[in-house]
Chain A
Amino acid sequence: MTGEPILSVTGLKTTYYVKRGRKTYPLKAVDDVSFDLFKGEILGFVGETGCGKTTVGRSIIGLSKAEAGDVQYGGSNVLAMAGKQLRDVRVNMRMVFQDPYASLNPRRSIGDSVAETGDIHKLFASKAERAQKISDTLQSVGLDPSFADRYPHELSGGQRQRVGIARAILPTPDIIIADEPVSALDVSIQAQVLNLLLDLQKRLGLTILFISHDLSVVGQISDRIAVMYLGEIVEIAEASALYQTPLHPYTRALIDAVPKPDPKIKSGDGLALGEPPSRLEPLPGCSFANRCPLASDVCLTTPPVLRDFADGRRAACHALE
């Protein structure tokens, strides 16, 4: 990717505090994450449960309070904003959530939910304009305008997720942060929603941060992919390069473990991998060291940093040349 980044994240840290008995432990959900998001691209964030991918998305937009870091957007730091300034920036940075059942207010009509951002920011000059905008937006996500008067319980999961996307594009934002937008959907509906996102991205010139645990979905939709493990980005690269020649041993393990829909290609059994360590007692060195086939002494003591490799790829691993 070239050009100026539309969003530039540096040193983002978000810590949750978890109580176990009488003690409180810090859980570093996101630990020193930096990346650039370029205009018009889809950047995928992928990783397993608890790797911090969702927290990255929520911290950028201020839904989770970041402890440190800098999120540059339009010449200022989003993390330093509050009140009206933050609300205004959120018009241009919107979120699509995972569970279309939980993220819509059951007592609001679909039309009211879709128009909510516009209502709050007084963007509609008249009732007629509001109705027209709602109807246009519903059509652009593939729903009939008559859905405006219906309620969430009348809709299927796929339709609700289309409403979730409609809410995020009225008015048209610069950036959409989509957090597992297709995880709750069946595969045939998932394909419809992925197509819709690709179509909207092209039509409206959106930039999308696409967060998912599913490497196949991320690989299908993204231009670049960032792989997260226990709060850190371990590798970030152009999507097809990441797939064809993954650098980091964790990326390799992840790609290997995905069950391939072809009986002739055997997926890895993952037996050597074991399970991830507790987030409450982080390892002193590389957080992947205890599961890594390439681990050496230095990995157990010194955390690796994200380094540059050929073709603009970056990975955090001591074992790579």
Chain B
Amino acid sequence: MLSVQDLTVSVVTGHEPLKITQNLSFDIAEGEILGVVGESGCGKSMTSLAIMGLLPSKQIEVQTGRVLLGGADITHLAPHERVDQGVSGVSMIFQEPMTSLNPVLRVGDQIIEALMVHDKTNGRDPVARTRELLDLVHIPDAGLQMNAYPHELSGGMRQRIMIAIALACNPKVLVADEPTTALDVTVQSQILSLIRELRDELSMSVLFITHDLGVVAQLADRVCVMYAGQIVETADVGTLFENPVHPYTHGLFSCLPDPTRRSELLNPIPGQAPLLADIPDGCAFAPRCSYVSDNCRSGAIDWTPFEPEHQARCHHPLSGGLKK
């Protein structure tokens, strides 16, 4: 449904352009949830903005690569051009619903606005369609809540409104950038099950971006692990959590607090992620990796396939699964 090919997003500077993401490629099938997991600054949010045509300024641009939606190239189309050309099949929800909603408009009007822009009322009353959307995201008393302002709603309800707006254009793909990070854990679990349910009902594809391995395990069908702008490992969720091969993925797992192994020291990854300006040549993870060898420090690291759907960029893939 959505295909990202060889995508490189760069900050244009006076000198060398700084690559935020490097040669990303992934596909999302219809009705599939792809989880993209990585730490702050690994380029996961910029990837989602590039897909949406929402890169923040003229200084940040898609340098190479394409984004295909159902076969149509949408890489360099601005949001309004997408609407005009009728390829508006990708919607996005953001981390902080309070800052994404307009505080002085009633939430119902904000949904109607999205319906009008995309002309998806199908000749029906937009208010009735809005009520349907609110029912779809399980907002109780839809008729009443339409008239509420964002500040009158809880964080969970606001995120449901965001999802309703995203659904207004009947998207084929929903891009969700950390949509549950600002929510409490009991509310988070409700939003995750809502996304799962909408995927099943509308056979929508979902690109779910998060830093939380727990959320990925619970929601995604397939996972891409990102580090310093590159995808370093990709597999279906069962394989990745059972048998991760990239040392960085291993490192992430061994950092996870585990209440069943209480007061044992965790096994953190030494050092910290590189800044954009000094991502090393060769494997970006090499300076923090305990399996590093000389050939890791130069040249591009190619994909090593393990199973048909499981591959990693590493010269020293680990086997034998996770040490429990």
Residues of A near any B CB (own CB < 8 A): 48-49, 156, 158, 186-192, 194-195, 198-199, 213-217, 219-223, 239-240, 243, 253-254, 257-264, 266-271, 273, 275
15 A-B pairs within 8 Å (CB atoms) are namely A156-B272, A187-B213, A188-B252, A216-B259, A220-B258, A220-B259, A221-B257, A257-B188, A259-B219, A267-B214, A268-B189, A270-B188, A270-B190, A271-B193, A273-B186
The listed residue (A188, A194, A195, A222) touching B251 by CB distance below 8 A is A188
Given A213-B184, A254-B185, A260-B218, the answer on whether A275 and B156 have CB atoms closer than 8 Å is yes
What 9 pairs across the A-B complex have the smallest Cβ distances?
Answer: A219-B259, A259-B214, A220-B257, A191-B268, A270-B189, A191-B255, A269-B193, A48-B184, A186-B39
| Assembly CA distance A26 to B5 (angstroms) | 56
Say whether A188 contacts B39, CB under 8 Å: yes
A158 to B238, CA, bound (A): 31
> Cβ of B268 and Cβ of A263 under 8 Å apart?
no
Interchain CA distance A49-B218 in the complex, whole Å: 23
A260 to chain B: which residues have CB within 8 Å? 214, 217-218
In chain B, positions 203-225 with a C-beta closer than 8 Å to chain A are 211-219
A57 to B214, CA, bound (A): 28
Q: Which residues of A contact B186 (CB under 8 A)?
A: 48, 253-254, 257, 270, 273
Q: Give the bracket for the number of chain B residues in contact with chain A.
A: 35 or more
Contact of A259 among B154, B218, B238 (CB under 8 A): B218
- Interface flag for B256 (CB, 8 Å): yes
Q: Is B303 an interface residue (CB 8 A)?
A: no
**Most chain B CB inside 10 Å of its own CB: which residue of A191, A219, A253, A273:** A191
Show the binding face of B for A, using Cβ within 8 Å: 39-40, 154, 156-157, 184-190, 192-193, 211-219, 237-238, 241, 251-263, 265-269, 272-273
The answer to whether B262 touches A239 (Cβ under 8 A) is yes
Q: Which of B154, B272, B273 has the most CB of A within 10 A?
A: B272
Identify A219's interface contact among B216, B252, B262, B266, CB under 8 A: B262
Which residues does chain B contribute within 8 Å of A48, judged by CB atoms? 184-186
- Residues of chain A contacted by B157 (CB below 8 angstroms): 275
Task: State in angstroms the CA–CA spacing of A195 and B268 once bound together.
Answer: 8
Contact call B262/A261, Cβ cutoff below 8 A? no
Contact B212 A259 (CB under 8 A): yes
CA distance A270 to B186 in the complex (A): 6
User: How far is it, in angstroms, between the C-alpha of A188 and the C-alpha of B225 when the chains are bound?
Assistant: 14
Q: Could you tell me if B185 and A261 are in contact, using CB atoms closer than 8 angstroms?
A: no
Is B217 touching A261 in the complex (CB atoms < 8 A)? yes
The complex places the Cα of A62 from the Cα of B130 at a distance, in Å, of 49
Docked-complex contact B272 and A258, CB < 8 angstroms? no
Q: Assuming the A-B contacts A48-B186, A187-B252, A268-B189, are A263 and B217 also in contact, with contact meaning beta carbons closer than 8 angstroms in the complex?
A: yes
The distance from the CB of A306 to the nearest CB of chain B, in whole angstroms, is 22
**In the complex, what residues of A have CB within 8 A of residue B241's CB?**
261-264
Given the complex of chains A and B, what is the CA–CA distance between A213 and B216 in angstroms? 19
CA A223 – CA B259 in complex, angstroms?
A: 11
- A245 CB, nearest partner CB in chain B, Å: 13
| Among B192, B255, B259, residue most surrounded by chain A Cβ atoms (within 10 Å) | B259
Residues of A within 8 A of B260 (CB): 240, 243
Residues of chain A with a CB closer than 8 A to B252's CB: 187-188
Query: Can you name the residue of chain A whose Cβ is closest to the Cβ of B251?
Result: A188
- For A270, give its contact among B193, B219, B266 (CB under 8 Å): B193
A173 to chain B, nearest CB (A): 21
Which residues of B lie under 8 Å from residue A222 when comparing CB positions? 262
